[in-house]
Structure 1
Amino acid sequence: MALDVLQWVVIGFLLILPILYELNSTFKYYAKFFFYYVIVNLLAFMVIFLSLPRAKDVTNYGCRSSASAIKSIRKLFGIEIRNPWEENLESNKPYILVSNHQSSLDFFGMMEIWPLRCTSLAKKELMYTGPFGLAAWLCGTVFIDRLNHDRAVSTIKETADFINKNNVKVFIFPEGTRNHSGSILPFKKGAFYLAVQAQVPVVPVVFSSYSDFYSKRDKRFETGKFIITCLPPVNTVGRKDADVAVLTEDVRQQMLDAFNQTSLESRQPRVTTTVK
């Protein structure tokens, strides 16, 4: 008798889930993110398996199976990306790629444009996030201890040498944290010190606002689209550490202007023309 009651409770629970999903936006928000993180961690296990033969090799990031899987996941969530200009990423030489950081959903945009021989620089805490952290380590991610200034400076110098010796690009979020404000936060200077130390260009990349389909504050996660804009490289040859503050602000202003413009564009419906 008790077993029959339990079975009906489980059946009733499963039947009510689709109703809650359609009628309650907060439930949909948490359900979709739960599904998203489950898939990302399953993908991390795949990357771990494929990366073990060549641990800490930056080419592990360019695994074709992973890239295809991520694009399929994005389409599953109904997120469309417009990427009007990729030429600024197509270089065989090293550079520092900097981007604004709105959400863990940035992962979709990152993998859409990820250049060859590219790794990322991330806070040390990310290394301890289970399968995702292990996969990142196996892909050659550079982890920086932001709480220890001397160690962070040492990591920047070592990474600058690594960039030039191995012809590697580095992806960095200079805001240092996810930003849900609908703008771009002031930048940390680490990415720009790294570019000056290595004497390599800074390539700014802007993800337009997700506000039409995603809001952490309102617990909203719908289908939608955003625009990726790859701005022209900013040269650092001849620049010194004393120039980093101006370089940082100049790049941020370029990115903020592009963010404001493309965020407006992404909210406008596409106009289709009919041939008669």
Structure 2
Amino acid sequence: MGTLIVDRVGKTYPGNKTGEQTVALDGVSFTVADNEFCALLGHSGCGKTTLLNLIAGFEQPGSGSITLDGVPVRRPGRERAVVFQDYALFPWLTVEGNIRFGLETQGRIAAGERQRIVDEHIRLVGLAGFERHLPHQLSGGMRQRVAIARALATDPQVLLLDEPFAALDAQNRLLMQDELARIWASETKTMLLVTHSIEEAIRLADRIVVLSRRPGRVRENIVVDLPRPRHEDSAGFIALRRHIRNLLNDEPADQLAVEAASVFPLA
């Protein structure tokens, strides 16, 4: 199971010498159902990564609560794995070694079973034949596949992705979006993606939580009821993109909301 509940979460950071504080998040609430793909979308500095760090257990909220299947999140745990924007691979370990690392730290899996899991996840992310390569011998997209495989190999309940494709060129970003959609369908994991790309959120997510500018508040919680695979030239995709762009630009959304409501439901 992997039902994530964020309930009225707030986060404030101490200020500079003048004592002025920075309110990063203010009363953020939403639920990500088991096996659901959710995207956190908003401008830079709106608190998306802060919220992801709170869910990962790297930091604690100043107010509110975060629970996973009813258990409060208070620290990092193996039930929540994180994929970072900069890959965070060990440069001295091979593809195989990087994926095996998390399994070895658990210390409860026999060597033969560890190798089976590593082999399975190398195939899952399409890196068969690159097992002995070091990170510097791989493209950016391939390195991110290693990072995803390493996270999934430990069998977390929730996979947290912090703008994992931001450093890739446009072509590779589209390719990796398709790969992530394929992996999610195969693994049926709860996934939470931080992104500033409207198109990426629509292509991948079942639910899009749109955050306001700082302090981050839930501007809208959108259920994406579009068939997969999703095409950017479809009427539903275009209507939803317009609606979200309107939200992010703080423009009047009345007419667009009426248009979009006929294509997708809002939660």
Normalised by the length of structure 2, the TM-score is 0.41
Write 1 or 2 for the structure with the bigger share of strand: 2
> Highest Rg: 1 or 2?
1
Write 1 or 2 for the structure with the bigger share of helix: 1
Normalised by the length of structure 1, the TM-score is 0.40
